[in-house]
Chain A
Amino acid sequence: MATETAGRLAPPRAVFYNDPVIRGYLYQGVMVLLVVAFGYWLISNAIVNLRAQGKTFGFDFLWQTAGFDIAFKLVPYERASTYFDVFKVGLVNTLFVSVISIVIATALGFLLGIARLSKNWLIANIAAVYVEVTRNMPLLLQLFIWYFAVLKVMPPVKQSLNAWDVFFLNGRGLYGPSPIFDDRFGWVMIAVAVSIVLAIAMRLWAKRRLETTGQRFPVVITAIAIVVVVTAMAYLVSGTRIEFEIPALAGFNFKGGFTAPPEFTALVIGLALYHATFIGENVRAGIQAVSHGQTEAAQSLGLQDNDRLRLVVIPQAMRVIIPPTTSEFLSLIKNSSLGAAIAFPELVSVYAGTALNQSGRAIEIIAMTMLVYLTFSLITSFLMNIYNARVALVER
């Protein structure tokens, strides 16, 4: 009995407010009270202010006529369209400009990352200078340079810069050819799909053969050959013809082909060049993160050069490259909102700018705009978590 009581000392008596558990509840209770009080204060202020200004809160304004035009649109829109249409145009423009910039930035970023690791002294140093200069100035400044100092001072329509009589560049934008497809072109598209399926089947077969017999099969070349041959045959057999509509000077402007206004071009160039430097640094870090021992181990296993890259180095580098690059894509989407500064009609510019000024619905419009970016962010982190779970190192 005596030993038992010695082992279990009664807990020291403390005043109840010194008990860490009770304190935790206390702090959190105070925090909740503060947050609720702050929220109540904000909302009651808003109600009073809105009433004083004779405004109401609600999303009914979305179906009112906006009454202004938008210069660059990919979905149907006209003056008589509603504020909700403005929202859609802005959203589609944001996504369009982001996707194009992401593609260019990724390609350029990988080039830059590899160039910085090049054994060629000149290439490595030029890439380094480019990266340091570009990422140490604000993106907004770069957009202004591309827009005000480069594209806006291009010559007027009559003296357009001309490349092979196909591309034209002037102060109003970049003009180029656009393809016109006839109704038989569908067969070619079907052929492309079929050839891709064939190529995938061929790859599966080649892999199984490699695993059972150890014999190699030239997968990449055969795949390219299948796609090219099948598509070309479909093109010839179906008798379709692709024509290019080339922009031509008609009156005071170019007609036909595609037109990229200077706002769009400046935004794409600015976003792509700026974010390419960050992606390039990610790529460089990823390649450097693969230890030399991995390469040596692959060599001693007798892997060929391209197998060593494909099976050992690249998968490990990608594990380091992909997570920060995905957040770079997200930050590119967010930075596309800088288009507002050079009057490119993306979401922030047309919706949180023009539409807000006209309708005066500050709370609703800002909330919707933020919600859009929040959604992008949530989707990205959701995909990122799946990816991280898949590639996470399984240790012992």
Chain B
Amino acid sequence: MTIESNFLYVRETEAPVSPPPRRETGLGYWLRSNLFSSLGNTVLTVVTIVFLAWILPILYNFLVGEAVFAGTMDDCRAHPAGACWVYIQARASFMVYGFYPIAEYWRPNTVFVLGLALIIPLLMPRAPYKVPNIIAFLVVYPIVAVILLAGGVFGLPYVPTEMWGGLMLTLALSVVGVVGSFPIGILLALGRRSNLPIIKTLCILTIELWRAVPLITVLFMASVMLPLFVPNGFTVDKLVRAMIGITIFYGAYMAETIRGGLQALPRGQFEAAAALGLNYWKSTIFIILPQALKYVIPGIVGTFISLVKDTSLVSIVGLLDLINAINAAGASAEWASPTKAFTGYTFAIAIYFVLCFSLSRYAKYMEDRLNTGHKR
């Protein structure tokens, strides 16, 4: 770049860029400042590298190096140091669908794809048609899913819930829990903030009672105590009982998360809504909730993550969820192999990690998106 100038003391060409200080660039500087900045740090780094050099080859050998990718169970028994992926390949359909009839696998598959098609645009902040999307997901989708999964109408063969299992059951429990606990949480949170003393007390009692006990006792209660409290001869499906337990339990947790959002909302919003002459429900639905819920999206997603993880507890009351299906898949002697248990659990870890980690990344993304105003 040159500058036309009449002044002799003005440079006409740009001075050459001087190189950055040598000691503050490149790999050497990065290593010095991040790994070897002091004696203590150097010792820590060396110890960590030794630890990694020990553990990474073990992990690699188990997952890839010594693992059996093809063959029979006999090959697995011959390789006791590696994962037995043959076992996963052979039992994958059981781990994913449980005892669901093979000819009907298209039904859970359709429900799964439909669910993804509805959830993904719901999670994308910029996708249009949020309201119809929410209605489709919260109202239409559950009905379609139940019809497809259980069948018995429209010529679909009936599949009792005892035959549901594996990942499919885990996802079904998660979706029911998410869809059900959300409205319960909103109602309980609104009730807790209500001016009416009796409703407020009832909501506080409900929330605190459910939050104080472990989910297992709730599931035990649903499986052994609930039958005593419904009219004789009237039975509720075992899976539905677990779903009710999880939904109410997480409804109470959701209520506390949403209450955080309601409390974070400035008083002026409530007063402005009242000044416009909106009644309670109008101001709540159009003014308060949209803002309050937006504040706590990360918290809501966090509660959903715990819910997804806690659906695994239904295996204690005898439902065949992903973990229980993996335990049951290798129970017979034909699948015996020294690394069968580890391989099965690795599969479960991978599935839960993908589910929960992507949700937690999403929560982080929303948090950053919502925080822009406060960033310095």
Contacts and interface: CB of A to CB of B under 8 A. Distances in A.
Contacts of A118: 44
Most chain B C-beta atoms within 10 Å of own C-beta, residue among A32, A35, A137, A334: A137
B202 A31 contact: yes
Interface stretch (B139-147, B229-237, B284-292): B229-237
B212 interface: yes
B345 A145 contact: yes
Given A140-B323, A363-B225, A373-B214, A49 B232 contact: yes
Contact of B34 (A50, A119, A352): A119
Contacts of B349: 133, 137, 141
B35 A133 contact: no
Nearest to B323: A141
28 contacts: A24-B195, A27-B199, A28-B196, A28-B198, A31-B199, A48-B232, A49-B228, A119-B41, A122-B35, A122-B49, A123-B48, A133-B349, A141-B345, A141-B352, A144-B323, A149-B341, A149-B345, A334-B213, A334-B215, A337-B216, A337-B217, A338-B216, A340-B316, A348-B217, A353-B220, A366-B217, A373-B214, A373-B217
B365 interface: no
Contacts of B109: none
Contacts of A122: 35, 44-45, 48-49
A136 interface: yes
A378 B48 contact: no
B231 A45 contact: yes
Contacts of B211: 377
A311 interface: no
Interface residues of B, number: 54
Contacts of B327: 144, 148
Interface in A35-58: 35, 42, 45-46, 48-50, 52
Contacts of B35: 120-122
Contacts, number: 150
A370 B215 CA distance: 10
Interface residues of A, number: 53
A383 interface: no
A375 to B, nearest CB: 9
Nearest to B220: A352
B48 A45 contact: no
Interface string B194-219: 01111100100000110111111100
A136 B217 contact: no
B224 A126 contact: no
Contact of A374 (B41, B196, B209, B305): B209
Contact of A341 (B34, B225, B316): B316
Most chain A C-beta atoms within 10 Å of own C-beta, residue among B202, B212, B309, B341: B212
Interface of A: 24, 27-28, 31-32, 35, 42, 45-46, 48-50, 52, 118-123, 126, 132-133, 136-141, 144-145, 148-149, 153, 334-335, 337-338, 340-341, 348, 352-353, 356, 362-363, 366, 369-370, 373-374, 376-378
Interface stretch (B17-25, B150-158, B353-361): B353-361
A370 B214 CA distance: 8
A28 B196 CA distance: 7
A153 B343 CA distance: 14
A27 B197 CA distance: 11
Contacts of A139: 309
B353 A133 contact: yes
Contacts of B229: 42, 45-46, 49
Given A46-B229, A141-B345, 18 more contacts: A31-B198, A48-B231, A49-B227, A49-B232, A122-B35, A122-B44, A126-B48, A133-B353, A136-B305, A136-B353, A138-B323, A140-B316, A140-B323, A141-B348, A144-B327, A144-B345, A377-B212, A378-B212
Interface string B221-261: 10011011111100000000000000000000000000000
A137 B309 contact: yes
Interface string B261-280: 00000000000000000000
B342 A149 contact: yes
A145 B216 CA distance: 19
